[in-house]
Structure 1
């Protein structure tokens, strides 16, 4: 038997199995979960059945099978896929809850940075990225140049001008951001 004939026979076996089990599995899943999850779990179940086609009891070499022989095993596969989907949903919900709690737990005395974000948004996209890489990621102009594909000199000039525009927008008398040394914005080359 050629490889193409083997694939054709495998496909025919799977199509016969699918014809036999799709409707009962759909009903099974509808009785156990919400309609929004049924199609995804059914698809996952059919994928597992395709992968494990040779393990399905009662499914011989032909495409015809007895539902009493194959359905119990297929229900077990669907049950496992449903349990996996429920665990995944639980993980997603716990993550969302954690994220919401972390947003709510900001200290009452936390600084309001809306002015800074507005000033950053007023910069061009490339200038904003250069400033963020320098201030938030702590990169030197030489490293920023590597990350952005610009020259160190171009980064230093952009950074200097962007810091001046930010200082102007924020109403600072000196363009020196707090927490940074004076020579930190200059290229080391």
Structure 2
């Protein structure tokens, strides 16, 4: 590991001198090591190891944005490790939270949420569509993306150009309005 650290540190020093190819080499080498570590962390946390690439990209972006903060007279691995560890922990927390908040419903279950008493769930699709169309435009868009298309709040934010927090708030407000409508109250 000491030789690898020296090679990586040398690559970062050379990047500061304008050698972009050495920096690209460093990112490729470090991402391969990081990918294995992140997959292991995801698996041990009971999360899908397939999501490792998103976390690796977050870490690499953070390293890139902070590369000028590394003191080249100090060891590189502790600096890399701190950024990688904190970014990975943040991502794991977000994914656990998203997993707890996510409710995967089949189309039939989704439709039955809003079916009137005694009305078959299959016939309520038009009713659900009508109720969603009465929501304010932002809530309508978010409910369609998250609730009907099954996107995560992050994916819906990217698709709509909103912030993830805004998507979450709009989704919860939209669901509250839909439930009120389904129970016979107004929006």
Same fold by TM-score greater than 0.5: no
TM-score by length of 2: 0.40
When Rg is computed on C-alpha atoms for both structures, the one with the higher figure is: 1
TM-score by length of 1: 0.40
Of structures 1 and 2, the one with the larger relative CO (CA 8 A, separation 6+) is: 1
